[in-house]
Amino acid sequence: MSERILLIEDEALVADMVRLNLEHAGFRVDSVTTGPDGLEHLRTHVYDLALVDVMLPGMDGFEVTRRARGAGVVTPVLMLTARGETQAKVAGLDAGADDYLTKPFAMPELLARVRALIRRHTAARGVPSSRELRFGVYRVNFDTREAITNEGRVTLTERECALLEFLAGREGELLPRTDILENVWGMDRFPTARTVDNYVLRLRKLFEPDPEEPVHLQTVRGRGYRFVGE
């Protein structure tokens, strides 16, 4: 799966050149041109990196970064600053940026910084890949219970998370409701099979392109459920 980058840059020439070079290097790129759009994308999608210009319409790059951090976004941010803006570099790092690059920059340097930052971030995160579930366009972090869903970025309840982890951990297997109840709810409680059904319905709203026609959280009629990632 190629890494996904958000580019927030209002200068069309720069944006086009950066996007083309990143795509040529194998990255997937979403490109927006205003601060508010950038913030919205950061809050509702998971990116491996964000390239954030300082001077943007609507909201500057510092504010975008600060607000994103305030909202719990951990995506590494590489600020694009104009030449000689020493103050801007400091302000960017203060706002929560991870690195900066001074315009005009050479594409090889940009690509090197991008790769280094993504590598550093992945290593620092230290989350074993098994703790982060990716399927379709969705992602779930089982440590933070944070998920990217049809409703944007949401925090799952402990039970929703436990159910999803149980199902996904046995991908492709038929899981009878009784097994699900025993493993996710435990024997000290008295939920019914209906409880499982209700939780699955909730998960489908979050994690199915069409909850009426589930592809990930499948019903095996009369028997139970089956999780299919792709």
Applying CB under 5 A, the residues found at the interface with Ca ion are 10, 53, 55
Please report how close the Cβ of residue 80 comes to Ca ion at its closest, in angstroms.
8
Please report how close the Cβ of residue 57 comes to Ca ion at its closest, in angstroms.
8
Cα distances (angstroms) measured from residue 220 to each of 142, 164, 173, 207: 25, 16, 10, 18
Q: Which is nearer to Ca ion, 33 or 183 (CB)?
A: 33
Please report how close the Cβ of residue 203 comes to Ca ion at its closest, in angstroms.
41
Q: Which is nearer to Ca ion, 105 or 135 (CB)?
A: 105
Q: Which of 186, 195, 196 is nearest to 220 (CA)?
A: 196
Q: Find the residue with minimal CB distance to Ca ion.
A: 55
Q: Which is nearer to Ca ion, 53 or 165 (CB)?
A: 53
Tell me how far apart the alpha carbons of residues 166 and 147 are, in angstroms, rounded to a whole number: 16
Please report how close the Cβ of residue 36 comes to Ca ion at its closest, in angstroms.
14
Task: Locate the DSSP E strands across the chain.
Answer: 4-8, 28-32, 49-53, 77-82, 99-103, 132-135, 138-141, 146-149, 152-155, 175-176, 217-220, 224-227
Q: Are 222 and 141 in contact (CB under 8 A)?
A: no
Tell me which residue has tokens 């709203």.
205
Q: Which is nearer to Ca ion, 15 or 148 (CB)?
A: 15
Q: Which is nearer to Ca ion, 55 or 107 (CB)?
A: 55
Please report how close the Cβ of residue 37 comes to Ca ion at its closest, in angstroms.
13
